[in-house]
Amino acid sequence: MKVYGLIGYPLSHSFSKKYFTEKFQRETITDCVYENFPLENIEQLKEVLANPGLQGLNVTIPYKEQVIPFLNEQNDVVKATGACNCIKIEKGKRKGFNTDVVGFEKSLKQFLQPHHNKALIFGTGGAAKAVEYVLQKLGIDYLFVSRKKGTAKTISYHELKVEILQQHLLLINTTPLGMYPKVDECPDIAYDYLTPRHHLYDLVYNPEKTLFLQKGEAKGATIQNGYEMLLLQAEESWRIWNE
Ligand SMILES: NC(=O)c1ccc[n+]([C@@H]2O[C@H](COP(=O)([O-])OP(=O)(O)OC[C@H]3O[C@@H](n4cnc5c(N)ncnc54)[C@H](OP(=O)(O)O)[C@@H]3O)[C@@H](O)[C@H]2O)c1
């Protein structure tokens, strides 16, 4: 039996196990299983890696960075972002990939218009790094909006003036604000100044329409949530494990 799985903590609401188990049933893939491996600390990964049938792992919060010392090889995206969410195990060697980048790029592209040439990224965590990588690749200028004082490329919510919102027509939420059960939260910005030329992308997918997206939609902006990204990153993992 080929074993695949997800490491992270906690994993009670994880999407991947259900997704792959249903995929294996639907596609009559009978020699594969997908398991959850909730790890209280990254050292426990050694026990998971001792499983002789293990072919691949997905990695989620809080281990996307901490897993890197366990890799024998990293692809260029992992090197650039410092985050790995997919590991392929072949002949005892572990190679790291970042399929969030692929999922984000493919899901965003269909919504992009020529005027979406400047973006604001809310949050500066692991997902924000995948978003940054894609925006650089697509030649879209960007600023991070953060609660912390940052670099030249980062402003605070306080510094996010109306003119900046009017110039940046692509808004990407990579914070957990608005995620179930805290559905009444959203990034603290002047939503009244959004327009039909804005596109709002929320990486959160539960609920389907977060408060961030509702507020954008009320101003005529186009919106999308993170569900398609989630599907695309899962399929990209499967492709990598089988190539
Ligand atoms: N759709 C998908 O496929 C997909 C993939 C990856 C992640 N996600 C989602 O994206 C979100 C972020 O994931 P992540 O791995 O990047 O998490 P993370 O590493 O914890 O980063 C989240 C960032 O959000 C900001 N933040 C956290 N709490 C906040 C608060 N109360 N108010 C304002 N900002 C806050 C922080 O940035 P500052 O400290 O700079 O403010 C933090 O760095 C999660 O909801 C996750 O489920 C979705």
Closest CA to 102 of 242, 231, 241, 243: 231
SS3 label, residue 70: helix
CA angle 192, 175, 112 (to 5 degrees): 65
pLDDT confidence of residue 14: 84
Mean of the per-residue pLDDT values for the chain? 96
Q: CA torsion angle for 71, 102, 104, 118 (degrees, to 10)?
A: 100
- If 0-12 CB within 10 Å is exposed, 13-18 middle and 19+ buried, where does residue 5 land? buried
Is residue 8 within 6 Å of ligand 1 at its C-beta?
Answer: no
Confidence of residue 19 (pLDDT cuts 50, 70, 90): very high
pLDDT tops 90 at residue 12: no
> Phi, psi (5° rounding) for residue 212?
-55, -50
**Residue of 174, 184, 227 with the most ligand 1 atoms within 8 Å of its CB, for mutation:** 174
Strands 86-90, 54-59: pairing kind:
antiparallel
Q: Quick check: bond before 187 cis, omega within 30?
A: no
Percent of the chain with pLDDT over 90: 96
pLDDT digits (tens, 9 = 90+) for 43-54: 999 999 999 999
Å from CA of 123 to ligand 1 middle: 6
Please work out whether the CB of residue 124 comes within 6 Å of at least one atom of ligand 1.
Answer: yes
Please write the tens of the pLDDT for every residue from 129-158.
999 999 999 999 999 999 997 788 999 999
pLDDT at 94 over 90: yes
The per-residue pLDDT for 149 is: 78
Instruction: Please tell me the distance from the alpha carbon of residue 144 to that of residue 119, in angstroms, as a whole number.
Output: 9
Q: How far is 178 from 176, CA to CA, in rounded Å?
A: 6
* Spacing, Cα 173 to ligand 1 middle (Å): 8
For ligand 1, the distance from its centroid to the CA atom of residue 26, given in whole angstroms, is 32
pTM above 0.85, yes or no: yes
C-alpha triplet 113, 115, 116: angle, nearest 5°:
70
Q: Which of 46, 64, 93, 137 is catalytic?
A: 64
Domains of the chain: 2-97 (3.40.50.10860), 102-228 (3.40.50.720)
Predicted local distance difference test score (pLDDT) of residue 70: 98
The per-residue pLDDT for range 31-45, each reduced to its tens digit, is 999 999 999 999 999
For 169-181, what is each residue's pLDDT tens digit? Answer: 999 999 999 999 9
Q: What is the residue with the minimal CA distance to atom 30 of ligand 1?
A: 177
pLDDT in tens, 172-224: 999 999 999 999 999 999 999 999 999 999 999 999 999 999 999 999 999 99
For ligand 1, atom 27: residue with the closest CA = 175
The residue whose CA has the least distance to atom 1 of ligand 1 is 226
Would residue 18 show up in a list of annotated catalytic residues for this protein?
A: no
Split at pLDDT 50, 70, 90, the class of 13 is: confident
Average of per-residue pLDDT across 103-129: 96
Between the CA of 78 and the centroid of ligand 1 the distance, in Å, is 18
